[in-house]
């Protein structure tokens, strides 16, 4: 089996401006572009849509990926405020988050809409990063695995084995997002193994190829332990991705995982 290439993605959410983005990107290029040149890991940023052009210009040819935080499930037309996958292609976007819990909660995104967005991204050859995760109430009620695997199956059912290899999943327990609370490495690993089981239920022959990222208060200080787990293939990083030093440390941890997997 070929090892899964570690993937560390920042999610800037609704933060940044032209000046701050430039400082963050140039700082990270200086500290970490060398880690990417060996080809053992992938890293990038999901930026607010107005800054896709800035990210594309700044990051093209550097090894860093750039992505969007959401897309429309519709190709074009009267959908005020939405951004199509064709528009993302214009900015050579590499990946796009889908079903982030902030969008599920604030915009009432349904499993059906998330599945349709995912299809649109696959058709546009943009890597979808499907975000799934349970609330604290669901975890305390012992429903975490059922909820998370249910979200995975609802979004991915009907995809071919080949399509499954062209996406990533991010497990982001809602209670850990932006709260400073992180799932323990053991708990996160246990859920990642369950997600991989759900993927195997869809297409057993490729489940081992799909990258499953952990998200929820990932920082430089906890990334080593998280990325040492067998099924944690990297991270989706919110708050810490806005801090140059923290994100550099997280990229170091992903690089070390690539080394342990023999990818460097
Ligand atoms: C996120 O929103 O994807 C996230 C993981 O945020 P944070 O790292 O701030 O918890």
Backbone angles phi, psi at 138, to 5 degrees: -65, -40
Whether the predicted model's global pTM rises above the 0.85 cut: yes
The answer to whether the CB of 47 is under 6 A from ligand 1 is no
Examine the pLDDT at 223 and tell me if it is beyond 90: yes
What whole-number distance in Å separates Cα of residue 168 and Cα of residue 72?
A: 18
The CATH number that domain 7-260 falls under is 3.20.20.70
Q: Regarding beta strands 95-98 and 211-215, do their DSSP bridges make them parallel or antiparallel, or are they unpaired?
A: unpaired
pLDDT in tens, 117-130: 999 999 999 999 99
Q: In the chain, where are the structural domains located? A: 7-260
Distance from residue 170's CA to the centre of ligand 1 (Å): 11
Query: Which residue's CA lies nearest to atom 8 of ligand 1?
Result: 238
pLDDT in tens, 68-102: 999 999 999 999 999 999 999 999 999 999 999 99
Q: H-helix or E-strand containing 242?
A: none
What whole-number distance in Å separates Cα of residue 199 and Cα of residue 26?
A: 37
Residue among 8, 9, 217, 220 whose CB has most ligand 1 atoms within 8 A, to mutate:
217
Distance from residue 4's CA to the centre of ligand 1 (Å): 22
Q: What is the pLDDT of residue 49?
A: 98
Query: Which residue's CA lies nearest to atom 6 of ligand 1?
Result: 238
């Amino acid at each position: 089996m070929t090892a899964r290439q570690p993937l560390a993605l920042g999610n800037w959410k609704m933060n940044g401006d032209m000046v701050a983005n430039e400082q963050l990107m140039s700082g990270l290029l200086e500290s970490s572009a060398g880690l990417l040149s060996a080809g053992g890991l992938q890293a990038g940023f999901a930026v607010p849509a107005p800054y896709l052009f800035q990210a594309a210009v700044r990051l093209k040819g550097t090894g860093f990926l750039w992505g969007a935080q959401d897309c429309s499930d519709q190709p074009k037309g009267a959908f005020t405020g939405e951004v199509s996958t064709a528009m993302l292609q214009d900015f050579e976007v590499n990946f796009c988050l889908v079903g982030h819990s902030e969008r599920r909660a604030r915009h009432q995104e349904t499993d059906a809409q998330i599945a349709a967005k995912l299809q649109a991204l696959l058709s546009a050859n943009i890597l979808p990063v499907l975000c799934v995760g349970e609330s604290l109430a669901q975890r305390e009620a012992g429903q975490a695995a059922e909820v998370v695997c249910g979200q995975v199956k609802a979004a991915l059912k009907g995809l071919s084995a080949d399509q499954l290899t062209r996406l990533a999943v991010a497990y982001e327990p809602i209670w850990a997002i932006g709260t400073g609370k992180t799932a323990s490495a053991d708990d996160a690993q246990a859920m990642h193994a369950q997600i991989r089981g759900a993927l195997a239920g869809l297409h057993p022959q490729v489940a081992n190829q799909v990258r499953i990222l952990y998200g929820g208060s990932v920082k430089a200080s906890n990334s080593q332990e998280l990325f040492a787990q067998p099924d944690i293939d990297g991270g989706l990083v919110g708050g810490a991705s806005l801090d140059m030093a923290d994100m550099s440390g997280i990229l170091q941890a992903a690089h070390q995982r690539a080394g342990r997997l023999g990818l460097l």
